[in-house]
């Protein structure tokens, strides 16, 4: 079978592309996914954390972070139909209008907030919100948690008393304030892009989906990308051609990695890795950005919803979910949220709080929301998130072996400004956690870090606890400067037949969780392709 398009990566953007491109039944599409179809746990909102380091996760690690006690940080990425939309915490957050206006101001025509808003709306089937900011006819269900912990109301009250007013809809006219989170959950089941976009499209005769399909490299002939080369055995490969374009939608880690494996990237780095240079493009893999966070925790005198994760309660919750689709497994591990400014010259939030009715523990284990290591202690946690880091990193090659993980170097805290801003956010979260609004459930107040701590002690707390929020972006950035990888139509600079359409094209990271924006990029990318074909 011949194909018009080959999409590499069935993740948040790739599934959207597969759906939208095959609406035209004359357009034949091949969608490739390195992972499998997933398992029943992928569909259970409360099982989010057990998906890490499992068969549905690439389970990457960073290089040792010289400014963070030389710690390696965990970077989970979905390796399954739906990609990270099948393994994330399901928060539906669009970011700030100024984020997209900034993209536009960098010379990316068509990417201002007013121009991308219709694509957010197109995807969405919101259960309680409507025009002018929300859609009700799209394939992606968006809803609030049906049975959130009562601790969330205390969080919203504590925020209000500490200068963070209630905001009913952070995806609406204004982002700042404290809110209940919106989720990609339908009828207490995860709504990944595989569920919302891909499964309906798979009924069409013009879409072929191949799982367990590991791409070795892109196939380039006469200075044009003509297809891909799959690994089919220990020493065998298969070349698959397309007539129009290959579309990389493998995410901010794997998309630049696949370009580099194909000889597309900085020539010196490629030569050092022993990869023949086919197209010198120095920006590939550069501009890596992510959100980083540190926790604040309280103990609770009673268990509330998913606030207790001891084995008995876990079994009880799982049975409730399996039999009745009720109980704590219906919810994400995070339930409410706040956006605030501490010291933001851009006029948009620089700090985000995620509120979770579960205690993070005080032993500084990494990846704390992995239930394999999660403490069985009643409590709650505020994740203090720095939204716009000055520090930037890169994704590179260790060698030319496509089966080896890439080198991931985010350079966290290489800018002193980031440490200072996160410290201010931490202090604000400590005030919220210690507020009287929580006394009904948490009579002793702030537990971790200690209420009276010096800046030096709080800095130590950040260094021991800091993690990324698993939102890598920017490594194939959109733009027209010398370090840009794609143009504003998402076509690779200087090499026809190839587009990149996923979170890697973001020139700057958005103010909040990145999945909704990745879906929007898929929607807009599909329309750009249709307009150009």
> Model-level pTM?
0.96
Whether 481 and 434 map to the same domain: the answer is no
pLDDT of residue 376: 56
Q: Is residue 358 part of a domain?
A: yes
Beta strands of 289-439 (E only): which ranges? 292-299, 336-340, 351-356, 379-386, 393-396, 407-409
Q: Is residue 131 part of a domain?
A: yes
pLDDT, tens digit only, all 533 positions of the chain: 689 999 999 999 999 999 999 999 999 999 999 999 999 999 999 888 889 999 999 999 999 999 999 999 999 999 999 999 999 999 999 999 999 999 999 999 999 999 999 999 999 999 999 999 999 999 999 999 988 999 999 999 999 999 999 999 999 999 999 999 999 999 999 999 999 999 999 999 999 999 999 999 999 999 999 999 999 998 899 999 999 999 999 999 999 999 999 999 999 999 999 999 999 999 999 999 999 999 999 999 866 555 345 566 667 777 888 887 887 888 898 999 999 999 777 789 999 999 998 888 778 875 544 444 444 578 899 999 999 999 999 999 999 999 999 999 999 999 999 999 999 999 999 999 999 999 999 999 999 999 999 999 999 999 999 999 999 999 999 999 999 999 999 999 999 999 999 999 999 999 999 999 999 999 999 999 999 98
Whether 450 and 514 map to the same domain: the answer is no
pLDDT of residue 372: 41
Rounded to whole angstroms, the Cα distance separating 377 from 390 reads 35
- Out of 468, 487, 518, a domain closes at 468
What's the number of domains the chain is made of?
A: 2
Cross-strand bridge partners of residue 409:
394
Whether 177 and 272 map to the same domain: the answer is no
Kindly state the DSSP code that residue 437 receives in the 8-state scheme. G
Cα Rg, the chain, nearest whole Å: 22
From the list 134, 354, 471, 493, the catalytic residue is 471
- Structural element, H or E, at residue 214: strand 214-221
Q: Is residue 299 part of a domain?
A: yes
pLDDT of residue 375: 46
Whether 223 and 241 map to the same domain: the answer is yes
Rounded to whole angstroms, the Cα distance separating 15 from 10 reads 5
pLDDT of residue 374: 45
Q: Is residue 87 part of a domain?
A: no
Whether 471 is a known active-site residue: answer yes
Which tens digits make up the pLDDT trace of 269-309? 999 999 999 999 999 999 999 999 999 999 998 665 553 45
Rounded to whole angstroms, the Cα distance separating 352 from 362 reads 21
Q: Is residue 102 part of a domain?
A: no
Which tens digits make up the pLDDT trace of 210-246? 999 999 999 999 999 999 999 999 889 999 999 999 9
pLDDT of residue 359: 82
Whether 328 and 356 map to the same domain: the answer is yes
CATH code where residue 238 lies: 3.50.50.60
Whether 273 and 341 map to the same domain: the answer is no
Whether 317 and 422 map to the same domain: the answer is yes
Whether 225 and 258 map to the same domain: the answer is yes
Helix axes 515-532, 12-21, angle to 10 degrees: 30
b/e per residue, 471-501, with b = 16+ CB within 10 A?
A: bbbbbbbbbeeeebbbbbbbbbeebebbbbb
Whether 318 and 418 map to the same domain: the answer is yes
- Out of 428, 447, 468, a domain closes at 468
Whether 448 and 491 map to the same domain: the answer is no
SS3 for 49-98 is: HHHCCCCCECCEECCCECCCCCECCEECCECECCHHHHCCCCECCCCCHH
Q: Which domain holds residue 502?
A: 3-40+193-286+473-532
Phi (first) and psi of residue 143, to 5 degrees: -150, 165
Q: Is residue 182 part of a domain?
A: yes
Q: Is residue 221 part of a domain?
A: yes
CATH code where residue 183 lies: 3.30.560.10
CA torsion sign, 506 to 510 to 515 to 517?
negative
Terminal CA-to-CA distance of the chain, rounded, Å? 20
- Structural element, H or E, at residue 527: helix 515-532
- Out of 468, 485, 513, a domain closes at 468
Whether 434 and 342 map to the same domain: the answer is yes
Whether 492 and 463 map to the same domain: the answer is no
CA torsion sign, 223 to 229 to 235 to 236?
negative
Tell me the DSSP string of 132-155: TT--BSSSEEEEE-SS--THHHHH
pLDDT of residue 367: 52
Q: Is residue 500 part of a domain?
A: yes
Q: Residue 236 burial by CB count (10 A; 0-12/13-18/19+): exposed, middle or buried?
A: exposed
């Amino acid at each position: 079978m011949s194909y018009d398009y080959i999409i590499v990566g069935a993740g948040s953007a790739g599934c959207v592309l597969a759906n939208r491109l095959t609406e035209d039944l004359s357009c034949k599409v091949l969608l490739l996914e390195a992972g499998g179809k997933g398992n029943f746990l992928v569909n259970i909102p409360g099982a989010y954390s057990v998906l890490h380091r499992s068969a549905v996760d690439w389970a990457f690690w960073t290089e040792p972070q010289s400014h963070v006690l030389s710690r390696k940080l965990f970077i989970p990425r979905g390796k399954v139909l739906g990609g990270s939309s099948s393994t994330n915490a399901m928060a539906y957050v669009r970011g700030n209008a100024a984020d997209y206006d900034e993209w536009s101001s960098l010379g990316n025509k068509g990417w201002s907030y007013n121009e991308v808003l219709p694509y957010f709306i197109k995807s969405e089937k919101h259960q309680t919100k409507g025009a002018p900011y929300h859609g009700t006819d799209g394939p992606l269900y968006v809803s609030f948690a049906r049975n959130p912990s009562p601790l969330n109301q205390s969080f919203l009250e504590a925020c209000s008393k500490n200068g963070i007013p209630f905001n009913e809809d952070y995806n609406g006219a204004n982002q700042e304030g404290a809110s209940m989170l919106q989720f990609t959950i339908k009828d207490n089941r995860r709504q990944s892009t595989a569920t919302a976009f891909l499964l309906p499209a798979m009924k069409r005769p013009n879409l072929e989906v191949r799982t367990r399909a590991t791409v070795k490299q892109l196939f380039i002939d006469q200075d044009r990308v003509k297809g891909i080369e799959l690994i089919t055995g220990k020493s065998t490969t298969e070349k698959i051609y397309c007539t129009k374009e290959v579309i990389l939608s493998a995410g901010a880690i794997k998309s630049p990695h696949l370009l580099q494996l194909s000889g597309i990237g900085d020539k010196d780095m490629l030569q050092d890795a022993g990869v023949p240079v086919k197209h010198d493009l120095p920006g590939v893999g550069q501009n890596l950005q992510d959100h980083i966070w540190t926790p604040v925790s309280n103990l609770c005198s009673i268990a509330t919803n998913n606030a207790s994760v001891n084995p008995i309660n876990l079994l009880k919750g799982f049975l409730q979910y399996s039999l009745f689709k009720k109980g704590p497994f219906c919810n994400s591990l995070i339930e409410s949220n706040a956006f605030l400014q501490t010291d933001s010259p851009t006029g948009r939030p620089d700090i985000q709080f995620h509120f979770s009715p579960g205690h993070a523990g005080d032993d500084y284990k990494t990846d704390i929301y992995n239930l394999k290591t999660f403490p069985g202690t009643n409590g709650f946690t505020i994740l203090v998130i720095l939204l716009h880091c000055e520090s930037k990193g890169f994704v590179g090659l260790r060698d030319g072996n496509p089966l080896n993980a890439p080198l991931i170097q985010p350079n966290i805290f290489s800018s002193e400004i980031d440490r200072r801003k996160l410290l201010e956010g931490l202090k604000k979260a400590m005030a919220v956690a210690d507020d009287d609004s929580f006394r009904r459930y948490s009579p002793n107040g702030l537990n971790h870090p200690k209420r009276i701590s010096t800046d030096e002690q709080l800095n130590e707390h950040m260094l021991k606890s800091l993690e990324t929020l698993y939102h890598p972006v920017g490594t194939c950035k959109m733009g027209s400067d010398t370090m840009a990888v794609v143009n504003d139509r998402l076509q690779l600079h200087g090499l026809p037949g190839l587009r990149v359409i996923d979170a890697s094209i973001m020139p700057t990271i958005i103010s909040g969780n990145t999945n909704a924006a990745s879906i929007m990029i898929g929607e807009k990318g599909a329309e750009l392709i249709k307009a150009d074909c």
